[in-house]
């Protein structure tokens, strides 16, 4: 399936489809499925939101990868739901602002490793387990994550900010803070028990990179 290079963002309380700008630095595309637990298809507390899947088109300038011999997977855990509301009776908005959400990228050998397996009705014997085994490439915390659900079409968008803090390739990133996680849902070919297919990108603006680099330079003279 072709990965979409687009994401939904909220501006002036309006959901807008916004392309990743050419000046932004793409880290990766991701494509997978999401679910809620313990109650399926329910974002309300005390349920938790998860997304798992494949990572593709990883920027070779930022992360060293070997897609011929390794598969790359992600596991997203939204963390604690801090607030929820509705907009104009058309959109449900779910906010995760507690800072306890995580986004991990793992690699696992195609030969001798454990192939990722969605299974049915997650969490199950293979999901999310087979998406978070192998070698941790990058690990991040969500500074914030917002999920917006269209109450008429039951499609959704995700938008959040990440701070990377660990992983084998962590030191190779151009900066650690200010990464945007963005995506949209697709209602197609969804395994039983999952809510949506999710498709999106992780990227950072050049401004964030420049600010981080300038901060690093200033520290040298302190």
Q: What is the pLDDT of residues 151-196, one digit of tens each?
A: 999 999 999 999 999 999 999 999 999 999 999 998 888 999 999 9
Mean pLDDT within 102-120: 97
What's the whole-number average pLDDT of the chain? 86
**Residue 221: partners with Cβ closer than 8 Å, 6 or more residues away:** none
Three-class DSSP category at 36: strand
Percent of the chain with pLDDT over 70: 83
Per-residue model confidence (pLDDT) at position 206: 75
Q: What is the pLDDT of residues 49-87, one digit of tens each?
A: 999 999 999 999 999 999 999 999 999 999 999 999 999
Main-chain dihedrals φ then ψ at residue 141, nearest 5 degrees: -105, 145
pLDDT band of residue 209 (cuts 50, 70, 90) is low
Mean pLDDT within 201-222: 57
Per-residue model confidence (pLDDT) at position 17: 37
**Per-residue CA distances from 57 to 101, 155, 194 (Å):** 24, 25, 24
């Amino acid at each position: 399936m072709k990965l979409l290079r687009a994401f939904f963002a909220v501006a002036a309380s309006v959901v807008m489809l916004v392309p990743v700008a050419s000046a932004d630095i793409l880290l990766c595309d991701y494509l997978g499925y999401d679910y809620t637990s313990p109650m399926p298809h329910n974002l309300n507390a005390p349920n938790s939101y998860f997304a798992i899947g494949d990572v593709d088109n990883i920027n070779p300038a930022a992360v060293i990868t070997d897609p011929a011999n390794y598969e790359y997977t992600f596991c997203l855990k939204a963390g604690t739901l801090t607030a929820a509301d509705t907009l104009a009776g058309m959109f449900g908005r779910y906010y995760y602002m507690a800072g306890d959400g995580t986004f991990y990228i793992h690699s696992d050998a195609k030969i001798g490793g454990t192939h990722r397996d969605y299974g049915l009705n997650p969490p199950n014997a293979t999901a999310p387990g087979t998406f978070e085994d192998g070698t941790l490439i990058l690990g991040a915390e969500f500074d914030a994550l917002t999920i917006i659900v269209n109450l008429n079409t039951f499609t959704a968008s995700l938008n959040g900010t990440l701070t990377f803090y660990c992983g084998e390739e962590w030191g190779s990133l151009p900066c650690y803070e200010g990464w945007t996680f963005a995506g949209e849902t697709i209602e197609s070919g969804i395994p039983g028990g999952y809510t949506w297919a999710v498709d999106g990108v992780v990227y950072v603006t050049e401004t964030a990179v420049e600010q981080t680099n300038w901060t690093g330079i200033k520290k040298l003279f302190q």
